[in-house]
Structure 1
Amino acid sequence: MADPSLYTYPSPLQGYEGLEPLPNDKAADGKSFINPPAEKKSDAYNAFVHPITNGDRAGFDVHIYYFQSDPEETKFAHELWERIRREFPELRIYRVWDRPIGPHPVAMFEVNIFTPEQFGAFIPWLVINRGPLSALIHPNTDEEERDHSQRATWMGQPLPLSFKIFKSSKPT
Protein backbone atom coordinates (compact mmCIF):
# COMPACT_ATOMS: atom_id res chain seq x y z
CA MET A 1 0.00 0.00 0.00
CA ALA A 2 1.32 3.42 -0.88
CA ASP A 3 2.39 5.53 2.06
CA PRO A 4 -0.33 8.21 2.61
CA SER A 5 2.32 10.65 3.84
CA LEU A 6 3.68 10.81 0.28
CA TYR A 7 0.62 12.77 -0.84
CA THR A 8 -0.96 16.11 -0.07
CA TYR A 9 -4.62 16.50 0.78
CA PRO A 10 -6.73 19.64 0.39
CA SER A 11 -8.97 20.52 3.33
CA PRO A 12 -12.29 18.64 3.16
CA LEU A 13 -13.94 21.96 4.11
CA GLN A 14 -12.62 23.80 1.03
CA GLY A 15 -15.54 25.89 -0.25
CA TYR A 16 -17.38 25.66 3.08
CA GLU A 17 -15.28 28.16 5.04
CA GLY A 18 -16.95 30.87 7.14
CA LEU A 19 -20.33 29.18 7.49
CA GLU A 20 -22.38 29.16 10.68
CA PRO A 21 -21.54 26.30 13.04
CA LEU A 22 -23.59 23.14 12.59
CA PRO A 23 -26.22 22.40 15.26
CA ASN A 24 -25.54 19.75 17.88
CA ASP A 25 -29.19 18.65 18.02
CA LYS A 26 -29.73 14.89 17.89
CA ALA A 27 -32.07 13.10 15.49
CA ALA A 28 -34.92 10.85 16.62
CA ASP A 29 -32.55 7.90 17.06
CA GLY A 30 -30.81 9.86 19.83
CA LYS A 31 -27.36 9.19 18.33
CA SER A 32 -27.00 10.89 14.96
CA PHE A 33 -27.06 14.62 14.35
CA ILE A 34 -29.73 16.68 12.61
CA ASN A 35 -28.19 18.32 9.56
CA PRO A 36 -29.54 21.51 8.07
CA PRO A 37 -31.06 21.00 4.61
CA ALA A 38 -28.78 21.75 1.67
CA GLU A 39 -29.78 24.31 -0.95
CA LYS A 40 -29.24 21.63 -3.60
CA LYS A 41 -28.03 18.04 -3.79
CA SER A 42 -24.31 17.48 -4.07
CA ASP A 43 -23.00 17.34 -7.64
CA ALA A 44 -21.43 14.00 -6.60
CA TYR A 45 -24.86 12.37 -7.12
CA ASN A 46 -24.52 12.99 -10.88
CA ALA A 47 -20.79 12.98 -11.66
CA PHE A 48 -17.65 11.65 -10.02
CA VAL A 49 -15.60 14.26 -8.18
CA HIS A 50 -12.36 15.58 -9.66
CA PRO A 51 -9.88 13.99 -10.39
CA ILE A 52 -11.95 10.83 -11.02
CA THR A 53 -12.64 10.22 -14.70
CA ASN A 54 -16.12 10.92 -16.05
CA GLY A 55 -16.47 9.46 -19.53
CA ASP A 56 -15.41 6.55 -21.70
CA ARG A 57 -12.55 5.44 -19.45
CA ALA A 58 -14.95 4.76 -16.53
CA GLY A 59 -14.85 6.39 -13.14
CA PHE A 60 -14.16 3.17 -11.23
CA ASP A 61 -12.73 -0.26 -11.95
CA VAL A 62 -13.75 -3.28 -9.92
CA HIS A 63 -11.40 -6.28 -10.07
CA ILE A 64 -12.99 -9.49 -8.81
CA TYR A 65 -10.40 -12.13 -7.87
CA TYR A 66 -10.48 -15.90 -7.62
CA PHE A 67 -7.85 -18.56 -7.08
CA GLN A 68 -7.52 -20.31 -10.42
CA SER A 69 -6.22 -23.45 -8.67
CA ASP A 70 -9.52 -23.82 -6.76
CA PRO A 71 -12.20 -25.44 -8.98
CA GLU A 72 -15.06 -24.24 -6.75
CA GLU A 73 -13.87 -20.62 -6.77
CA THR A 74 -13.26 -20.81 -10.52
CA LYS A 75 -16.82 -22.06 -11.13
CA PHE A 76 -18.26 -19.41 -8.79
CA ALA A 77 -16.27 -16.62 -10.50
CA HIS A 78 -17.56 -17.65 -13.94
CA GLU A 79 -21.13 -17.81 -12.65
CA LEU A 80 -20.79 -14.40 -10.99
CA TRP A 81 -19.35 -12.97 -14.21
CA GLU A 82 -22.36 -14.27 -16.17
CA ARG A 83 -24.83 -12.92 -13.62
CA ILE A 84 -23.21 -9.47 -13.70
CA ARG A 85 -23.37 -9.44 -17.50
CA ARG A 86 -27.07 -10.31 -17.37
CA GLU A 87 -28.10 -8.00 -14.52
CA PHE A 88 -25.83 -5.01 -15.27
CA PRO A 89 -25.44 -4.94 -19.09
CA GLU A 90 -24.75 -1.18 -19.03
CA LEU A 91 -21.44 -1.77 -17.23
CA ARG A 92 -18.32 -2.68 -19.19
CA ILE A 93 -17.38 -6.23 -18.27
CA TYR A 94 -14.14 -7.83 -19.43
CA ARG A 95 -13.20 -11.44 -19.93
CA VAL A 96 -12.40 -13.79 -17.08
CA TRP A 97 -8.64 -14.19 -16.89
CA ASP A 98 -7.46 -17.64 -15.78
CA ARG A 99 -4.10 -16.36 -14.58
CA PRO A 100 -2.52 -13.29 -13.00
CA ILE A 101 -2.35 -10.25 -15.29
CA GLY A 102 -0.91 -6.77 -14.80
CA PRO A 103 -0.54 -5.89 -11.13
CA HIS A 104 -3.09 -8.53 -10.12
CA PRO A 105 -1.64 -11.56 -8.28
CA VAL A 106 -4.32 -14.13 -9.17
CA ALA A 107 -6.99 -14.72 -11.80
CA MET A 108 -9.72 -12.10 -12.03
CA PHE A 109 -12.22 -10.24 -14.15
CA GLU A 110 -12.85 -6.51 -14.33
CA VAL A 111 -16.03 -4.44 -14.31
CA ASN A 112 -16.06 -0.72 -15.18
CA ILE A 113 -18.51 1.72 -13.58
CA PHE A 114 -19.31 4.99 -15.37
CA THR A 115 -21.71 6.91 -13.11
CA PRO A 116 -22.42 7.44 -9.42
CA GLU A 117 -25.85 5.86 -10.01
CA GLN A 118 -24.22 2.69 -11.37
CA PHE A 119 -21.76 2.68 -8.46
CA GLY A 120 -24.62 3.02 -5.98
CA ALA A 121 -26.46 0.08 -7.54
CA PHE A 122 -23.59 -2.29 -8.32
CA ILE A 123 -21.37 -2.02 -5.24
CA PRO A 124 -24.07 -2.94 -2.67
CA TRP A 125 -25.19 -5.75 -5.00
CA LEU A 126 -21.60 -7.03 -5.13
CA VAL A 127 -21.24 -6.85 -1.32
CA ILE A 128 -24.07 -9.37 -1.03
CA ASN A 129 -23.37 -11.54 -4.09
CA ARG A 130 -19.56 -11.83 -4.33
CA GLY A 131 -19.49 -14.98 -2.21
CA PRO A 132 -15.96 -15.99 -1.14
CA LEU A 133 -14.27 -13.73 -3.71
CA SER A 134 -12.26 -10.60 -2.96
CA ALA A 135 -12.77 -7.42 -4.95
CA LEU A 136 -10.62 -4.34 -5.43
CA ILE A 137 -12.50 -1.11 -6.16
CA HIS A 138 -10.43 1.82 -7.37
CA PRO A 139 -11.05 5.16 -9.06
CA ASN A 140 -9.50 6.08 -12.38
CA THR A 141 -7.43 9.26 -12.29
CA ASP A 142 -4.08 10.09 -13.85
CA GLU A 143 -2.28 8.42 -10.90
CA GLU A 144 -2.61 4.67 -11.53
CA GLU A 145 -0.34 3.49 -8.72
CA ARG A 146 -2.12 5.69 -6.18
CA ASP A 147 -5.53 4.58 -7.54
CA HIS A 148 -4.59 0.91 -7.00
CA SER A 149 -3.11 1.54 -3.54
CA GLN A 150 -3.86 4.60 -1.41
CA ARG A 151 -7.26 5.30 -3.06
CA ALA A 152 -8.32 1.64 -3.32
CA THR A 153 -11.09 -0.05 -1.35
CA TRP A 154 -11.25 -3.80 -0.77
CA MET A 155 -14.14 -6.19 -0.25
CA GLY A 156 -13.03 -9.41 1.37
CA GLN A 157 -9.40 -10.29 1.88
CA PRO A 158 -6.98 -7.76 0.32
CA LEU A 159 -4.41 -9.28 -2.01
CA PRO A 160 -0.87 -7.97 -2.55
CA LEU A 161 -0.62 -6.21 -5.92
CA SER A 162 2.60 -5.84 -7.87
CA PHE A 163 3.26 -2.15 -8.39
CA LYS A 164 6.29 -2.74 -10.65
CA ILE A 165 4.12 -2.29 -13.74
CA PHE A 166 3.33 1.28 -12.71
CA LYS A 167 6.94 2.13 -11.98
CA SER A 168 8.19 0.75 -15.30
CA SER A 169 5.65 2.82 -17.25
CA LYS A 170 6.92 6.10 -15.79
CA PRO A 171 9.54 8.06 -17.76
CA THR A 172 13.04 7.85 -16.33
Structure 2
Amino acid sequence: MSKISLAEAVKLKSILSKRIHELEEEMYRVAFVQIDNGSKIPPQVRTLADVENELDEIRKDFRLLDKLMYQANYENEVQFNQENLTIVEAIELATQLRAKARKCKELGASPKEEPLYPFGDNVLVVKVAMFEPEDYRQKGLELERQANKLSNLINAKNYAIELDFDSEKYF
Protein backbone atom coordinates (compact mmCIF):
# COMPACT_ATOMS: atom_id res chain seq x y z
CA MET A 1 0.00 0.00 0.00
CA SER A 2 1.26 3.48 -0.71
CA LYS A 3 1.92 6.01 2.01
CA ILE A 4 0.89 9.60 2.60
CA SER A 5 2.31 12.10 5.06
CA LEU A 6 0.10 13.31 7.88
CA ALA A 7 0.35 16.83 6.43
CA GLU A 8 -0.92 15.55 3.07
CA ALA A 9 -3.66 13.65 4.90
CA VAL A 10 -4.92 16.90 6.45
CA LYS A 11 -5.22 18.39 2.95
CA LEU A 12 -6.77 15.22 1.55
CA LYS A 13 -9.38 15.12 4.31
CA SER A 14 -10.48 18.60 3.25
CA ILE A 15 -10.62 17.50 -0.40
CA LEU A 16 -12.70 14.43 0.49
CA SER A 17 -15.07 16.48 2.61
CA LYS A 18 -15.63 18.85 -0.31
CA ARG A 19 -16.15 15.92 -2.69
CA ILE A 20 -18.70 14.35 -0.34
CA HIS A 21 -20.63 17.62 -0.32
CA GLU A 22 -20.52 17.81 -4.14
CA LEU A 23 -21.79 14.24 -4.49
CA GLU A 24 -24.62 14.89 -2.04
CA GLU A 25 -25.68 17.81 -4.25
CA GLU A 26 -25.31 15.68 -7.38
CA MET A 27 -27.69 13.10 -5.91
CA TYR A 28 -30.53 15.63 -6.16
CA ARG A 29 -29.58 16.62 -9.71
CA VAL A 30 -29.67 13.02 -10.98
CA ALA A 31 -32.57 11.86 -8.79
CA PHE A 32 -35.14 13.96 -10.62
CA VAL A 33 -35.75 15.05 -14.19
CA GLN A 34 -38.33 17.48 -15.51
CA ILE A 35 -40.07 16.42 -18.71
CA ASP A 36 -43.24 17.22 -20.56
CA ASN A 37 -46.06 14.90 -19.55
CA GLY A 38 -45.90 11.79 -21.71
CA SER A 39 -42.37 12.49 -23.01
CA LYS A 40 -39.56 9.96 -22.80
CA ILE A 41 -37.02 10.30 -20.04
CA PRO A 42 -33.72 11.46 -21.54
CA PRO A 43 -30.70 9.19 -21.07
CA GLN A 44 -28.55 10.06 -18.08
CA VAL A 45 -24.78 9.89 -17.92
CA ARG A 46 -24.84 8.91 -14.24
CA THR A 47 -27.60 7.31 -12.25
CA LEU A 48 -28.51 7.90 -8.64
CA ALA A 49 -27.00 4.49 -7.84
CA ASP A 50 -23.69 5.51 -9.52
CA VAL A 51 -23.48 8.63 -7.37
CA GLU A 52 -24.44 6.72 -4.21
CA ASN A 53 -21.75 4.11 -4.88
CA GLU A 54 -19.07 6.75 -5.39
CA LEU A 55 -20.25 8.56 -2.27
CA ASP A 56 -20.08 5.36 -0.21
CA GLU A 57 -16.54 4.68 -1.44
CA ILE A 58 -15.33 8.19 -0.61
CA ARG A 59 -17.01 8.10 2.80
CA LYS A 60 -15.25 4.82 3.54
CA ASP A 61 -11.89 6.37 2.57
CA PHE A 62 -12.74 9.44 4.67
CA ARG A 63 -13.39 7.26 7.74
CA LEU A 64 -10.15 5.34 7.25
CA LEU A 65 -8.15 8.52 6.77
CA ASP A 66 -9.79 10.08 9.82
CA LYS A 67 -8.94 7.02 11.93
CA LEU A 68 -5.32 7.01 10.76
CA MET A 69 -4.97 10.72 11.46
CA TYR A 70 -6.42 10.44 14.97
CA GLN A 71 -4.16 7.48 15.66
CA ALA A 72 -1.08 9.35 14.43
CA ASN A 73 -1.99 12.46 16.42
CA TYR A 74 -2.28 10.35 19.56
CA GLU A 75 0.75 8.12 19.06
CA ASN A 76 3.31 10.73 17.95
CA GLU A 77 4.88 13.47 20.04
CA VAL A 78 6.63 16.79 19.71
CA GLN A 79 8.97 18.28 22.28
CA PHE A 80 8.07 21.79 23.41
CA ASN A 81 9.53 23.64 26.40
CA GLN A 82 11.29 20.49 27.68
CA GLU A 83 8.02 18.55 27.61
CA ASN A 84 6.88 15.75 25.31
CA LEU A 85 3.35 16.33 24.05
CA THR A 86 1.26 14.12 21.82
CA ILE A 87 0.32 15.96 18.64
CA VAL A 88 -3.29 16.17 19.79
CA GLU A 89 -2.15 17.85 23.03
CA ALA A 90 0.19 20.12 21.11
CA ILE A 91 -2.59 21.22 18.75
CA GLU A 92 -4.80 22.07 21.73
CA LEU A 93 -1.96 23.88 23.51
CA ALA A 94 -1.25 25.97 20.41
CA THR A 95 -4.94 26.89 20.24
CA GLN A 96 -4.93 27.85 23.93
CA LEU A 97 -1.73 29.88 23.56
CA ARG A 98 -3.26 31.83 20.67
CA ALA A 99 -6.41 32.51 22.70
CA LYS A 100 -4.37 33.66 25.70
CA ALA A 101 -2.16 35.82 23.45
CA ARG A 102 -5.24 37.46 21.91
CA LYS A 103 -6.65 38.29 25.36
CA CYS A 104 -3.30 39.64 26.60
CA LYS A 105 -2.96 41.82 23.50
CA GLU A 106 -6.47 43.18 24.05
CA LEU A 107 -5.55 44.09 27.64
CA GLY A 108 -2.25 45.49 26.40
CA ALA A 109 -4.12 47.90 24.14
CA SER A 110 -5.98 49.34 27.14
CA PRO A 111 -5.07 52.73 28.57
CA LYS A 112 -3.66 52.75 32.11
CA GLU A 113 -6.27 55.32 33.12
CA GLU A 114 -9.37 56.42 31.27
CA PRO A 115 -12.03 58.99 32.20
CA LEU A 116 -15.51 57.52 31.78
CA TYR A 117 -18.17 60.14 32.39
CA PRO A 118 -19.06 62.93 34.77
CA PHE A 119 -21.10 61.71 37.72
CA GLY A 120 -23.39 64.18 39.45
CA ASP A 121 -21.93 67.55 40.37
CA ASN A 122 -18.52 67.64 38.74
CA VAL A 123 -17.51 64.17 39.96
CA LEU A 124 -15.42 62.44 37.31
CA VAL A 125 -15.38 58.64 37.23
CA VAL A 126 -12.10 57.14 36.08
CA LYS A 127 -11.45 53.60 34.95
CA VAL A 128 -8.02 52.48 36.20
CA ALA A 129 -6.21 49.39 34.93
CA MET A 130 -5.08 47.16 37.77
CA PHE A 131 -2.17 45.96 35.62
CA GLU A 132 0.48 47.39 33.32
CA PRO A 133 -0.90 47.40 29.77
CA GLU A 134 2.58 47.34 28.24
CA ASP A 135 3.47 44.23 30.24
CA TYR A 136 0.38 42.50 28.84
CA ARG A 137 1.14 43.67 25.31
CA GLN A 138 4.62 42.14 25.61
CA LYS A 139 3.18 38.98 27.18
CA GLY A 140 0.72 38.68 24.29
CA LEU A 141 3.52 38.95 21.75
CA GLU A 142 5.57 36.29 23.58
CA LEU A 143 2.59 33.92 23.80
CA GLU A 144 1.93 34.41 20.10
CA ARG A 145 5.62 33.63 19.37
CA GLN A 146 5.34 30.45 21.46
CA ALA A 147 2.16 29.39 19.63
CA ASN A 148 3.87 29.94 16.27
CA LYS A 149 6.91 27.95 17.41
CA LEU A 150 4.69 25.08 18.54
CA SER A 151 2.69 25.18 15.29
CA ASN A 152 5.93 24.92 13.32
CA LEU A 153 6.98 21.88 15.37
CA ILE A 154 3.59 20.24 14.73
CA ASN A 155 3.82 21.02 11.02
CA ALA A 156 7.34 19.58 10.74
CA LYS A 157 6.20 16.43 12.55
CA ASN A 158 3.17 16.14 10.26
CA TYR A 159 5.49 15.96 7.24
CA ALA A 160 7.65 13.30 8.94
CA ILE A 161 4.79 10.93 9.84
CA GLU A 162 3.62 8.53 7.14
CA LEU A 163 0.22 6.87 7.04
CA ASP A 164 -0.71 3.70 5.16
CA PHE A 165 -3.26 5.21 2.82
CA ASP A 166 -3.59 5.02 -0.96
CA SER A 167 -4.18 8.59 -2.08
CA GLU A 168 -3.64 8.02 -5.81
CA LYS A 169 -7.39 8.20 -6.48
CA TYR A 170 -7.40 11.77 -5.19
CA PHE A 171 -3.95 13.24 -5.88
Q: TM-score range by the shorter chain?
A: under 0.3
Q: TM-score, normalised by structure 2?
A: 0.22
Which protein is richer in helix relative to its size? Answer: 2
Q: TM-score, normalised by structure 1?
A: 0.22
